[in-house]
Amino acid sequence: MKRKKIPYGTKLPVLLTPQELNLIKENTFCDPDFGKMGVVEGKNIKIMMNLDDIEELQGHVAAEANHSENHKLQKELDKIFTKLQVFLDTYDDQDEA
């Protein structure tokens, strides 16, 4: 599948449930302020992120999922990882230069 080219640094709307946001904040080494600028949209929280931020967050989620001995937590983090992967599979930043 060909990825859609977007300008470097373009912010995309990442929708997380409050539970997903809490899992990320409580169980990963992401920025403690992550999600503070999110906007409630229905039952979700919309956080505007560029592809670099999404990839960084995905790395934090994957690291915790891979090292967790709690299988329920691991499964929930894997779902978040997959949700974030959709953005990386769909979009591609154009080169900065």
For residue 97, what pLDDT is reported? 52
Q: Which residues pair with 6 in a beta bridge?
A: 93
The residue type of 97 is A
Number of structural domains (the chain) is: 1
For residue 94, what pLDDT is reported? 77
For 6-45, how does the pLDDT look when each residue is reduced to its tens digit (9 = 90+)? 999 999 999 999 999 999 999 999 988 999 999 999 999 9
Which range marks the domain in which residue 32 is found?
4-93
Given a contact cutoff of 8 angstroms between Cβ atoms, the answer to whether 50 and 96 are in contact is: no
Local confidence band at 95 (pLDDT 50, 70, 90 cut-offs): low
**Please, what is the average pLDDT of the chain?**
94
pTM of the shown model: 0.90
Residue 53 has pLDDT above 70, yes or no: yes
